[in-house]
Amino acid sequence: MTSIHRWGAALVAGAVACTLVAGPGTAEAQERGRLTDVVRLRSVSAENTKAELTATGFSAAAVRYGVDTFRLEYRTVDARKRPTTASGLLVLPAGGPAELSTVVTEHGTTSYRGDAPSMSVEDFASSPALTYGSAGFAAVAPDYLGLGTGPGYHPWMDVPSETTASLDMLRATREFLGRRMGSDVVVTGFSQGASAGLGLARALDERADPRFRLRALAPISGAYSFRDVEIPALLAGELDKKSSALYAAYLLVSWNRSHHLYRSPSEMFRAPYDKTIEGLFDGEHTGRQLMAGTPGTVGELLTPAAIELLRNPSPRFAAALRVTDGVCAGWNPRVPTRLYVMPGDDQAIAANTGSCAARFGAAGARPQVVSLPTSVHNGSTHLASNVRATEDIVRWLVRDFSRP
């Protein structure tokens, strides 16, 4: 399968100042997180797990167990708080500890529902969950809304709905595992998932569901300052040009569905792309099809009006960006926190991480900024940051957070 990452993507995104999440005693929360289906996907021996991780470029050094993998489908709410369903991947260590600590790993950008973690096998998107599961944790990888088996469009970079979908995935996991699931939760995530992870971590830290306790936080290569750092770098040509065109398109198409930024695609997209671009982001088109259906640069894709909107957001757009750019602001995580960054990141410019650390600092937090050695994975430093950070994070978790 070909994901947005395979064409060199994974911009970022973010969000939040999370909206309040219903507690476990409310009628809404009693329905949210309820399992609607469990699909046993496969069992993989420890040796085959090592081989699969090695094949996708991830380290196999932390593999201790074979794994059993499942797709959980569960009830949640959409971006407008209406009832819907979502799915996600659960990876469990075969023969692991009787009580499991949980690692939530939030995936980076994809627009094709078939590339979500619960739909992927031996793939970039599912490899982090395989890493943590085989190290002895219950690894939870939400698909988000509108991906995997979830209905409708994916509301890209909408951290409040990523937060509710992720919290409800934790609730569904608890229903499935029962007492085997401990209360401790470590949260990590890559690119778009870095912001999604921060949203979930903030909700847990604020006791959105007292059955879960945040223990550590480790986002990777997020675009935490979208308006002031990421979009200017994208427009200035400082990032990978093809990925920039794709992300600009995804941003405008997805946010128009949520925030009504334009009336007609021709206002934002040059011909002939104005006739086709919205259909490419319907969840059914693969990354390969997106590559073929879009030009190589932002300038070839966007109209002057679109570029001006990105440079000088309208009030409606600016309000949405404030939510995105609030992901690191106004809270002090009371747990060990690491922010992973790779200098020279070709999709989420490294200055994003400095901005996030400064915003945490303003609230009294002192996250550890981990600068990764520069390397390349499938032609991208951005993708390589996920590979290198996952290796470091699992080593840290096994040392400090694993159960005997």
For 127-138, b/e burial (b = at least 16 CB within 10 A) is bbbbbbbbbbbb
So what's the pLDDT on residue 402?
A: 80
pTM: 0.92
Average pLDDT, the chain: 92
Asked if the model's pLDDT at residue 18 lies above 70, the reply is: no
So what's the pLDDT on residue 8?
A: 32
Class of the CATH-defined domain 226-322: mainly alpha
Cα 225 from Cα 327, distance rounded (Å): 9
So what's the pLDDT on residue 381?
A: 98
Query: Cβ(162)–Cβ(200) under 8 Å?
Result: yes
Residue with tokens 């830290």: 205
pLDDT band at 29 (very low <50, low <70, confident <90, very high): low
pLDDT tens for each residue of 43-62: 999 999 999 999 999 999 99
Asked if the model's pLDDT at residue 22 lies above 90, the reply is: no
Cα 357 from Cα 350, distance rounded (Å): 12
Asked if the model's pLDDT at residue 197 lies above 90, the reply is: yes
- What CA–CA distances, in Å, run from 21 to 55, 198, 374? 39, 14, 38
Lowest mean pLDDT among 27-41, 92-106, 310-324, 389-403: 27-41
Strand partners, 219: 189
* % the chain with pLDDT above 90: 89
Lowest mean pLDDT among 21-25, 99-103, 192-196: 21-25
So what's the pLDDT on residue 30?
A: 63
CATH code for the structural domain at 4-225+326-400: 3.40.50.1820
Cα 118 from Cα 5, distance rounded (Å): 16
Lowest mean pLDDT among 26-40, 99-113, 218-232: 26-40
For 18-56, b/e burial (b = at least 16 CB within 10 A) is beebbeeeeeebeebbeeeeeeebeebebeebbebbeeb
So what's the pLDDT on residue 28?
A: 58
pLDDT tens for each residue of 83-101: 999 999 999 999 999 999 9
So what's the pLDDT on residue 121?
A: 79
Cα 261 from Cα 252, distance rounded (Å): 7
Asked if the model's pLDDT at residue 19 lies above 90, the reply is: no
So what's the pLDDT on residue 122?
A: 77
So what's the pLDDT on residue 87?
A: 98
So what's the pLDDT on residue 227?
A: 96
Domain boundaries, the chain: 4-225+326-400, 226-322
pLDDT tens for each residue of 212-237: 999 999 999 999 999 999 999 999 99
